[in-house]
Structure 1
């Protein structure tokens, strides 16, 4: 037998091994990654990104922050499951879970374990259903992974989980061990059935909020317009357009009626006398329920993202006023941003929280007039030390968007 023929069996074995790797089911850890990080999405014409650093530098800063976030907060929860540790007691909430699912699908391609994490997070979600609708997630668990403080849902967590499942379908396909698209349709349908007021077309606080003043109340940090549009695209359900339209109407009603000088939105909104208005103190959480506090600090990121991706400019006036106000308020110095403002611009916070300053970097992207301000916010965020789960999550999301790496279904 000559040398060439001796090599043939090894060569064939190599080809068979390669084929086996490529035809592994999409649910496996080796599924093809269709939209690997970094994505460098082309945002709406006229919008900007930081230009005081290179694209590679921005991508690397996101990778660094992701590594730190993953090490601190993404934890195993038994066989085949992962959860997001949201406080020192080892508890978690569905909001954190949605964040974890979004991060893992967005960082796939760079993080080779992303699909394993994602599937583990999905398995944890399905193991903790709301008692009202099993496709929604029970909102809080203790360190033993037991549901606590009521087995009902929080809308923001469910919306992020649903959106992450749609992205997973785009990222890995739905032919593997988990049918991501079917799972997304299940939770999207449940959100419509139990977390949307189908008389007002408003986003409820959770599946429990279906009576009294809670039935018509809403929370601006849940105004995830790109999610709503993705739900419509995935399901063909025109009711999601009604929700998006009403959401934009409420943004502008609050802006013109209560914060024309600042563009700030309150933590919670109630419907009274035919008008959507800031909630009174103590409505749900604390004395600042009607102020710009630890819920609505996310709105510059959440609302702006839809403009960057779709060009829908219905909130552009509010965002423009917001940028103008905050730049003046803090003398264009991100370190001066505090964690709490009344809608008229009065400061009541005292801490320079990443949950507050980082989202302003996203809203700054709407206009080239904010370029130096955006650059300062990027540098302040990218160079920031770890704070806690909430702040670090919002900083990472804001950096993903600012670096041009956000994408939608």
Structure 2
């Protein structure tokens, strides 16, 4: 039976509508994942301490909250990214910012000098909040980068955010920089009098951050930091066929070697573990050839694994047999920025981190997954 012109027209219309719906779903799905991830993360991990202050709870228990400068940096960074989509306001950002400003560290023999670095931890003790002295460079870097981004997202507050950014980046260079190694230290406590003065946290190698700070301040030391730290990271990467780098390394101006177990925090200090897992995320958007080469070596290793598990020795032996979003989310982000490098299997396999709601009892997994969604889904 021949179809009438009307029937053919109806079929064409239905086909066009179906195709349009399919395209919209394809386009909106990443947008939906981003929005949902941010909203779930904020609801679960951001605690309002007062009308004008909020902090990121890193303890995985709301009844026993702990704030870390690292978590506050991530919180500001994620909120700035959400602000680009209109999901977060400058007030949301300022509440997190006010908490940071209320917990700035002091340096000097008697802790007499106020800085713009953040004290690394706050928690409750016998019903009262206490704050541990000393800073952690990873938290300060993310706070500074969030401020840099906020100047573009909320123009009416730009002058205020830019002023704070400059104060903070100046203090990072004043108190968290070793001019001998041309690299950032792990915190303001790792002074020239400390045996940790030559210690580098590999996840502090943040070339896109350093570029942003240089363009904002025109301080040539940020170029020195970028070159010095990328060179040392590359030195570590080529020491093993895997390309993997350790959580921490001892460095000089022209060399680097992994630390021994228990040098800083755990038996895995010299392995690709809970700190180094962030390295792919930190290198993802950089166009610097050294960053690209180091990242490619690591991605090649991961692409040959049936499953990417939670941590490896530098020779490629698994530290655990389970998968973890803290390791997979940064890899997903890195591959997302470098889809033309032939690691589509990693792009597909590491998407599992978005297949279920964010965990409510694992701040680190949830936070790195949210960052990967906000940046890797673009």
CA deviation profile, 1:373-409 (whole Å, cap 9, x unmatched): 313323x1211343311111101111222212xxxxx
- Quote the offset at 1:111 in angstroms: 4.4
Corresponding position: 1:84 with 2:60: no
Corresponding position: 1:351 with 2:322: yes
- Quote the offset at 1:274 in angstroms: 6.0
Conservation of the 8 A alpha-carbon contact between 1:102 and 1:164: yes
Corresponding position: 1:312 with 2:296: no
Residues 298 and 145 (structure 1), Cα distance of their counterparts in 2 relative to 1, 3 Å cut:
farther
CA deviation profile, 1:195-232 (whole Å, cap 9, x unmatched): 11122211110011113331111101111111111110
Q: How many pairs are equivalent?
A: 339
1:263 matched residue in structure 2: 243
Report the Cα distance in structure 2 between the residues aligned to 1:225 and 1:280, rounded to whole angstroms: 26
Report the Cα distance in structure 2 between the residues aligned to 1:61 and 1:98, rounded to whole angstroms: 22
Conservation of the 8 A alpha-carbon contact between 1:173 and 1:180: no
Q: CA RMSD in A?
A: 2.0
Report the Cα distance in structure 1 between the residues aligned to 2:81 and 2:28, rounded to whole angstroms: 17
2:299 matched residue in structure 1: 323
1:315 match: secondary structure: helix
In the TM superposition, what are the counterparts of 1:81-120 in structure 2 within 5 Å?
Answer: 81-87=53-59, 88=61, 89-108=64-83, 110-120=85-95
Report the Cα distance in structure 2 between the residues aligned to 1:264 and 1:55, rounded to whole angstroms: 34
Q: Which runs of 5+ in 1 are unaligned?
A: 1-50, 331-335, 405-409
Residues 147 and 205 (structure 1), Cα distance of their counterparts in 2 relative to 1, 3 Å cut:
farther
2:355 matched residue in structure 1: 383
Deviates more, 1:222-231 or 1:110-119: 110-119
Report the Cα distance in structure 2 between the residues aligned to 1:253 and 1:283, rounded to whole angstroms: 20
Report the Cα distance in structure 2 between the residues aligned to 1:384 and 1:204, rounded to whole angstroms: 37
Deviates more, 1:357-366 or 1:109-118: 109-118
TM-score normalised over the length of structure 2: 0.85
Conservation of the 8 A alpha-carbon contact between 1:174 and 1:181: no
Deviates more, 1:339-348 or 1:270-279: 270-279
1:33 matched residue in structure 2: none
Report the Cα distance in structure 2 between the residues aligned to 1:76 and 1:85, rounded to whole angstroms: 10
Determine which of 42, 46, 49 is the counterpart of 1:74.
46
2:332 matched residue in structure 1: 361
Higher relative strand content: 2
Report the Cα distance in structure 2 between the residues aligned to 1:384 and 1:94, rounded to whole angstroms: 28
1:282 matched residue in structure 2: 262
Conservation of the 8 A alpha-carbon contact between 2:232 and 2:254: no
In the TM superposition, what are the counterparts of 1:121-132 in structure 2 within 5 Å?
Answer: 121-132=96-107
| Runs of at least 4 residues off by over 4 Å | none
Conservation of the 8 A alpha-carbon contact between 1:305 and 1:401: no
Residues 400 and 225 (structure 1), Cα distance of their counterparts in 2 relative to 1, 3 Å cut:
same
Report the Cα distance in structure 2 between the residues aligned to 1:113 and 1:280, rounded to whole angstroms: 43
- Quote the offset at 1:130 in angstroms: 0.5
Report the Cα distance in structure 2 between the residues aligned to 1:190 and 1:349, rounded to whole angstroms: 38
Report the Cα distance in structure 2 between the residues aligned to 1:274 and 1:179, rounded to whole angstroms: 39
